[in-house]
Structure 1
């Protein structure tokens, strides 16, 4: 079978894996905030803190996942993550105290890291070059489909039956959604793993890890994504509750689906657009869109205004997440991509962790979401400024040639 056909089968399988892990993980976290707080076991702030712990452990674990991907078959990495994620979802239905809640969320973050973007984007980077933007767009659309297909089902079942009753089914879904297709179709690359047992291969084009992470572009780019993802994830964790409080829980489910649908449309459109234009101006526009739509959500009280702002926010959600790995590949190449991308994810985790925590605390303090979402808009604006500085400092090397002796070969 030609490598291109095999590559697109890998893309299809990873699409389903990300749909399962995001739908039962990332997109279900705001649903858990609503359901668990309504059941009276924990406050919104406590569950938001648990969500922050989830993202923190996910980011820290990402570096270990990247090292594992350089040394072992990706299928074993995803299998370990799928098993751990399923066990945590099963345990979530039985949690009765805050310490156990935090522990379960921490371990869930570990499992999520091994079944989400780092393994998926690393494999896609190895399989594709000319059509990489489209392949990344398709795979990452699985994240949004998790919000469209899986999360509304989770929300409806949780509202109707309670979290403890559906937890075993969520665990089965995570297990079956991540492991079987990975073993059936996913392979490390068209020619096997790029790296040997030591985790290095200097014949692959790209900037070495140490040189990449010490440059000004990496610093400003990572800081930009700390602000952008802090605002984005914080809003994602609370937008369901915002819409439910201002309208009703049915509208909250609609808002989650709207974000996911607009994210899907944005990713497909963005993937094709990036085959024709540079990623940097497109990403800059989306940073501004995210800031403006979060400000609109802060002050919108009627369903139409919230819906319009939600669609704009969803467009930024889908594309900014997709563009992060593409920018890393464009700037630094494939050679040490997994480790560089994992470090950007770890640093971005600061935003993942702080965003939901701060917004939950601001809600508990004020009793509404106006200040929380306006603060997220300010953070997104700061991300825009940092990203523009990063663009002015980006590397100019030609990464089409392998590195020889730490420098680009001729």
Structure 2
């Protein structure tokens, strides 16, 4: 399926800072706010919520399970809406919804209201990050897509470097409700920034992907790239669709469930709150380095092979997490698991664009994102493992085998007809 417009490779680079990097910066902040509010903050808030509200860890683990089920349906709708409105409007609205929902999480005393607020948080985050932010970055880059996507998605793990510590100290300074409120107001500040900076595509600004200068044309600017709507029935018959979706769905189930309660895991090993939050920050810092590294390497190495190696790295890290007791094994877990898990959400959009192309990205990625619903299984395993055995060891053991299975599947993926000449343009 050929896209219209001039060839990228025949144009010269535009002088100065390419505007696409500003788009990457906004996407970084959106991903930071999304992951920070959705996952990392709960490393500090989970145990206080249990103590102050009388809830169990299994109760709180139900929030992301219910929320993700609704969020995936929302993401599917966003895949259709984005082809009409573009990423900018969705991202600005999503930031406001996420801010209101996160503030509400800290005020509610009823578990069902907590679940409802978490659903709204997931819906708002999906509108400003994930599919929507990744589509914006994919629109602006082709040749440098891996590097750009790695930088944008590094916000997901950079949130883990800052938010657990920030949330933990806010909690002890101003209390639980106000800690939620302060972070929520920070998320709200993202809405005007998105509106001022975000642009939907380079063609809408008279540019081409990767900072190339448009070739002379009759109207003086490149044609807007049409967004291809791939029929779901046709997509379901493509083996690469199933392989990519299942591999990332299975791998992410373990990664997100582990990250969601990494702080409590360290505290179960006898560490105090400050030490636990420091280790969460270090694991997230390793993940941030991993996101940029895995993403950049995708520009040089076939993404399917690189991703298979990355899944194996995650599995190795979880082996150290399973046997972690002293500082040596904990250190190996933090570095290896952190570096590996950082690549999960940075390579997912990259390999999707590599397989299906830039024009079809939003249409395909909204369906691939449905496989992330398998994360619910990961949360159930973590909650059930702790409830019935008093530790997370059983869940970690399952996740190790799942990572190896995901690696075996993803290495067989090949580009589809939508990726043009195989470059994912």
Give the structure-1-normalised TM-score. 0.89
Partner of 2:46: 33
Are residues 1:233 and 2:256 paired?
yes
Within 1, Cα distance between the matches of 2:249 and 2:86? 30
Partner of 1:186: 198
Partner of 1:406: none
Alignment of 1:210-249 (within 5 A): 210=232, 211-246=234-269, 247-249=271-273
Are residues 1:208 and 2:230 paired?
yes
Partner of 1:53: 66
Partner of 1:18: 31
Partner of 2:385: 362
Within 1, Cα distance between the matches of 2:365 and 2:168? 32
Are residues 1:337 and 2:361 paired?
yes
- Structure 1: state its 5+ residue gaps: 194-200, 403-410
Give the structure-2-normalised TM-score. 0.86
Moved more, 9-18 or 160-169: 160-169
The alpha-carbon distance between structure 1 residues 40 and 304, as it changes in their structure 2 partners (threshold 3 A), is farther
Are residues 1:271 and 2:295 paired?
yes
Q: SS state of the match for residue 189, structure 1? A: coil
CA contact (8 A) 2:36 2:163 kept: yes
CA contact (8 A) 2:57 2:383 kept: yes
Are residues 1:387 and 2:410 paired?
yes
Shift of 1:375: 2.2
Shift of 1:139: 0.6
Shift of 1:203: 6.7
Partner of 2:419: 399
Deviations 1:295-322 (A, max 9, x none): 2211211233112212111111111211
Partner of 1:313: 337
Partner of 1:111: 124
Alignment of 1:144-163 (within 5 A): 144-163=157-176
Partner of 1:42: 55
Within 2, Cα distance between the matches of 1:15 and 1:120? 9
Shift of 1:31: 3.1
Partner of 1:325: 349
Are residues 1:250 and 2:278 paired?
no
Q: SS state of the match for residue 196, structure 2? A: helix
Partner of 2:3: none
The alpha-carbon distance between structure 1 residues 398 and 167, as it changes in their structure 2 partners (threshold 3 A), is closer
CA contact (8 A) 2:29 2:155 kept: yes
Within 2, Cα distance between the matches of 1:238 and 1:215? 36
- Structure 2: state its 5+ residue gaps: 1-13, 206-222
Within 1, Cα distance between the matches of 2:287 and 2:417? 32
Q: SS state of the match for residue 114, structure 1? A: helix
Q: SS state of the match for residue 343, structure 2? A: helix
Within 2, Cα distance between the matches of 1:37 and 1:322? 32
Within 2, Cα distance between the matches of 1:18 and 1:398? 27
Shift of 1:45: 0.2
Shift of 1:401: 6.6
The alpha-carbon distance between structure 1 residues 398 and 42, as it changes in their structure 2 partners (threshold 3 A), is closer
Within 2, Cα distance between the matches of 1:367 and 1:40? 21
Deviations 1:46-105 (A, max 9, x none): 001112222222222111111111111422211221111111111111221221121111
CA contact (8 A) 1:56 1:352 kept: no
Within 1, Cα distance between the matches of 2:310 and 2:170? 34
Within 1, Cα distance between the matches of 2:47 and 2:41? 10
Within 1, Cα distance between the matches of 2:301 and 2:26? 28
1:98 corresponds, among 86, 107, 111, to 111
Aligned alpha-carbon RMSD (Å): 2.6
Within 1, Cα distance between the matches of 2:26 and 2:416? 34
The alpha-carbon distance between structure 1 residues 269 and 105, as it changes in their structure 2 partners (threshold 3 A), is same
Partner of 1:348: 372
CA contact (8 A) 2:75 2:366 kept: yes
Within 1, Cα distance between the matches of 2:54 and 2:162? 28
Shift of 1:264: 1.4
